[in-house]
Chain A
Amino acid sequence: MPESSSVLVVEDNVFDLEAITRILRRSHPYLRVHPLADGGEGVRWLMSAARLPRLLLLDLNLGGKDGRDVLRDIRRESALERLPVVVLTSSTNPRDVEECYAAGATGYLFKSADFSLLQSTLTAGIEYWLRNAPEA
């Protein structure tokens, strides 16, 4: 795994962010994890990054700007159209899923409150996207 691979995690809940970061470090020790609590800063962060991350993990229920709006903002930028954005949410409602897909999500991960299940989900999800996402 190239050491330059990184993941941007947009999550405003400090406990969830810590759990996600811990999981990613365990499963993919060579992956750099960039946390971002403010979804409104997402586009600016990405546009100013020297190298785009391999993947953006986006919590849907952000406190400030809603995750769906962040997603739409990202997709408006042509430079970011190929960036895989995977939504992370506790909802399994098919309508929510469709809404995310319509907004431009590349994938959808169920965010469990249980650490072990979240670990399994994130590990497998990250592995898939690192294997199949285009290089930035």
Chain B
Amino acid sequence: MDADAPVEVPVAANSPEALRERIAMLRDACSAALSVEELVVIAVAQTAAATLAAGGVLFLVDGDELVTAASVGYSAEALARWSRFPLSADTPAGSAVRQRRGQWISHPRDKARCYPHLAQNLTGYGALAALPVASGGSVLGVLGISFRDAREFTPVERLFLLLLADQVGVALERVRDAGRADEAVRRDTTATSTHRRLFDRLSGVENLRHAAAVLLESALALDGVAGVVLTVEDEQTGSGCRVTHCDDPRTAATLGLLTTADHPSAGVTVRLLERRDLIGIPRGEATPPAEPGIGGAAQVLMRGHAVVGSLALALDGRADPGLLRRELLDLAQVGRVVLDREAANERRQLAAGRAAFLTAATANLEASLDVDETLQRMARIAVPALAEGCLVYLNERGRLRLAAATHLDVRVERRIRPELGEDPAFVRLVKSALHGPAATDVVLPDWLHAGRVSTTPLRARDKLVGAIVLLVAPSDGRPGLADATLMTDLAAHAAITIDNALLYATRSAEVAALQQRLLPPRLPILPEFDLAAYYEAGDRSLDVGGDFYDVIVPAPDRLVVLIGDVCGRGADAAAITGLARAVLRTVVEDGASPARALRRLNAAMRAAGERGEFCTAAVVQVDGRGDACRLRLAVGGHPLPLLRRGAETTPIGRHGPMLGLVPAPVFRESDIALSCDDVVLLYTDGVTEARRGRDFFSPQLATAVAGAGRSAADTIARTVAAVERFRDEGNDDIAMVALRPRGRAVTSVEVPELGDPSVLPRIFAAIGEALSGDAGARCELSRRVASALARLPEPPAGRAYVDVLRRPGRWRVEISRPAPRDGRADRRGAATPSGPVVPGSIRALRHGVQTLVSEEVPAHDA
């Protein structure tokens, strides 16, 4: 290995974090310097430490010479030799200034080759780097770093060293600026008081635009200034403003161009221009650059941490250039700080405002499952925080529907839905923005007062659910809350909310449809039997529960009524009711007796239930016509049905085991003769176990039934009312079915409208036909029926049934109509009339017939 060959020696530590830390340490140390003298000492020491160099030196440019400002690690002889030397000298430092590039000498022989006249190596060091120290485009000096041994400088090291030199340049410029400002203040008492007044005024500004206005006024107040243009821009937010005070449009235009120059990397620069310099500014026209009397201009460029500012002044030539330059520097230094402060304030407020907006919008989005109302609330918050108007479209099978629209101005808001919402051109604009570049040929109507339209797609679960459209005013340079990040966040929240709500609506509709299948069916209309039923699901979020009933007519002279209760609650129990009802109906229609039907259900429950579902049930079979029947029933774990005969109400049947529990249950049937006007009531334990405190309704059931009117519907109604009055909470399903034989049907007539004048003759005809052999009874019965109809408060609308019946020794006419099937109460209160049915919206179902007229007379035919 060549002993003289350069070696690679890492600079400090090679990790990027360590290098960054070194630069930060140098920057922090230099920023503490209060004078150039302090700074150069700090810079050299820090650089040497950061690079593990043997020596460091800082040369400053002084005219056309370089002067040693500070050094460490060099001999007195070397320092004396190089204390001051021409920039033009062929030295590494001179080359660095002239070329504005770092000079890297890795080995003494490289130095001898490049700089042969520097024959004597006074330092004794093996390698050196000469780095230009620059700021604002100007080279201020050279930072020299010497290493004991020959070495290669890797690209990372070169970058590191150049960054170090840059930091020194920034610090040097800052200290010099501060020094010049202080010097100007010390030298000129007038300037000091002006400075103070400017500070005072700028301390009281309210925002960036206000600060710009104050700066403008201050600039205008300087001697020799005839016009001013000031532009300020926050490079991060893109907001800014331009303020102008200039009477002549040509001059104003020229000044405006001056403000568009590139800004320094840091600090302030002031440039004084003569009139001839203005001519060179490209304005695209041949007119003079300024009005007569304008002798020149000044260009002041300021760069702060947050903003860049440009001040262009038209000068009438009266001001002393040196004094003007100093005054402008003062103004710019103060202005830069104040503009930075106001811009930082605005950024903080914007960030806080955006966070607060998202919080408020999210809260409103999560408040309801009504999509349109939720979006309308969100759009209300968005205006005018994000824009002057906000529209939200929903994608419904490829078609955009306007779901929400708000605007600052009610006159505009009122017009948006009818005139803009479905407007093909506007919808095309929105669609085009969602799928690619927005269409540019759509002209927005004047009444919108909108400068432009901004569209943000709403995407959830990989599908487009809609779009948010903002109507944005022409920009006035003020920063707005609506940046890309906020709109993305808002759109994400809104999209998922919409998708969840739509999913909920879909599921609700599916549940409602399923429930419709599980709801108890309509009862058959049978002339000889008065049937009524009541059903109420205990879970208010659903329409069905675990109770079920059914009425089956397997043969002309046979009627089967069944009732049951699946153990459990809610949707799980409701699902089993479908199975239970279907099994019972099937076996009953096949001719199974009540006991056999229960045994079949038991087997089905045991076969289908993986989780051990159980149920209770009672099956009542009525054979015969309405005047003389026999009743057979079997009960499986269910409350015994009640029989009301005259004034007495008693339970009937024999208890049996629950269904689904044991493999071979035994159900003992009961056989009872049933007479006309007997009422059989089947019910579930939701009736008997209705509670008030620690008391149950069970002991009062028989009394309630006994006190009811004759009809099945009235029996049900009185019992339900008694339960409602009794209980203090109701969260169990309730089901009841009542059956009353009415007599043997002789004639039955269905009339479409009871109030129609033609109905009475038809009734008389039916009576006449049925009682053809009993004239006395016929007349009396006809009279009574007519009288009863006349006493009705008003003829009920709709279909009615007129049945002429025969019971032992008596003729009877009963007129009835189908009871309203359900008592639908919309618990949501604010639902739209055309909205979908929501599970839980059905309060109770009532089936069967409602007896309107029941009149009977003794029969005179033997």
Contact = CB atoms under 8 A, between A and B. Distances in A.
A92 B380 CA distance: 6
Given A112-B360, A117-B360, A29 B388 contact: no
A93 B383 CA distance: 14
A92 B353 contact: no
B485 to A, nearest CB: 15
B206 interface: yes
A114 B353 contact: yes
A94 interface: yes
Nearest to B352: A116
A120 B353 contact: yes
Contacts of A25: 206
B589 to A, nearest CB: 53
B357 interface: yes
A117 B357 CA distance: 6
A129 B449 CA distance: 12
Contact of A110 (B385, B410, B449): B385
Given A94-B376, A105-B410, A108-B380, A124 B388 contact: yes
A107 B409 contact: yes
Interface stretch (B141-149, B294-302, B473-481, B575-583): B473-481
Contact of B349 (A109, A112, A119, A124): A119
B347 to A, nearest CB: 11
Contacts of B384: 109, 121, 124-125, 128
Interface string B467-489: 00000010010101100000000
Contacts of A107: 408-410
A47 to B, nearest CB: 24
B409 A128 contact: yes
A27 B360 contact: no
Contact of B377 (A93, A116, A117, A132): A93
B364 interface: yes
B385 A117 contact: yes
Contacts of B356: 112, 114, 116-117
A119 B206 contact: no
B824 interface: no
B353 A128 contact: no
Nearest to A110: B381
A108 to B, nearest CB: 7
A117 B353 contact: yes
Interface in B470-529: 473, 476, 478, 480-481
Interface string A26-64: 110100000000000000000000000000000000000
A108 B410 contact: yes
Contacts of A105: 410
A132 B409 contact: yes
B210 interface: yes
Given A92-B377, A97-B380, A114 B410 contact: no
Given A92-B380, A108-B380, A27 B206 contact: yes
A116 B353 contact: yes
A93 B862 CA distance: 75
B373 interface: yes
Interface string A87-131: 000001110010001000111111010111101110111011100
B440 to A, nearest CB: 25
Contacts of B456: none
B473 A128 contact: yes
Interface residues of B, number: 33
Contacts, number: 90
Interface string A8-30: 00000000000000000111010
Interface string B370-414: 000100111011011100100000000000000000001111001
Nearest to A97: B380
A127 B409 contact: no
B841 interface: no
Nearest to B379: A92
A125 to B, nearest CB: 5
A106 B409 contact: yes
Given A112-B360, A117-B356, A120-B353, A26 B207 contact: yes
Contacts of A112: 356-357, 360, 381
B415 to A, nearest CB: 13
B41 to A, nearest CB: 45
A26 B207 CA distance: 6
Interface string B352-368: 11001101100010000
Given A26-B206, A107-B409, A114-B353, A124 B377 contact: no
B380 A132 contact: no
Contact of B388 (A106, A115, A128): A128
Contacts of A106: 409-411
B409 A120 contact: no
B478 A114 contact: no
A60 B692 CA distance: 46
Contact of A29 (B206, B357, B381, B481): B206
Given A27-B206, A107-B408, A128-B409, A94 B360 contact: no
Contacts of B478: 123, 127
Contacts of B378: 92
B380 A29 contact: no
Nearest to B380: A92
A106 B481 CA distance: 24
Nearest to A106: B410
A101 B409 contact: no
Contact of B476 (A94, A115, A116, A127): A127
Most chain-A Cβ atoms within 10 A of its Cβ — which of B356, B388, B414? B356
Contact of B408 (A114, A115, A123, A125): A125
Contacts of B357: 112, 117, 120
Contact of A114 (B352, B373, B380, B388): B352
A37 B633 CA distance: 78
Interface string B439-463: 0000000000100000000000000
B364 A92 contact: yes
Most chain-B Cβ atoms within 10 A of its Cβ — which of A92, A93, A107? A92
A1 to B, nearest CB: 11
B346 to A, nearest CB: 10
A120 B373 contact: no
Given A27-B206, A94-B373, A117-B357, A124 B410 contact: no
Contacts of A92: 364, 376-378, 380-381
Contacts of A129: 408
A112 B352 CA distance: 12
A116 to B, nearest CB: 4
A109 B206 CA distance: 23
Given A94-B373, A119-B353, A110 B206 contact: no
A31 to B, nearest CB: 11
A103 to B, nearest CB: 11
A116 B378 CA distance: 18
Interface string B411-453: 1001000000000000000000000000000000000010000
A27 B207 contact: yes
A94 to B, nearest CB: 5
Contacts of B207: 26-27
B339 to A, nearest CB: 16
Contact of B449 (A109, A115, A123, A132): A132
A4 B357 CA distance: 33
Given A92-B380, A106-B409, A128-B408, A116 B206 contact: no
A119 B352 CA distance: 10
Contacts of A97: 380
Given A94-B373, A125-B408, A128-B473, 11 more contacts: A27-B207, A92-B376, A92-B377, A105-B410, A107-B410, A108-B410, A110-B380, A112-B381, A114-B352, A116-B352, A117-B352
16 contacts: A92-B378, A92-B381, A112-B360, A116-B350, A116-B356, A117-B356, A120-B353, A120-B385, A120-B481, A121-B385, A123-B478, A124-B388, A125-B384, A127-B478, A128-B388, A128-B473
Nearest 8 A-B pairs (CB), nearest first? A114-B356, A116-B352, A116-B353, A124-B384, A117-B356, A92-B377, A26-B206, A92-B380
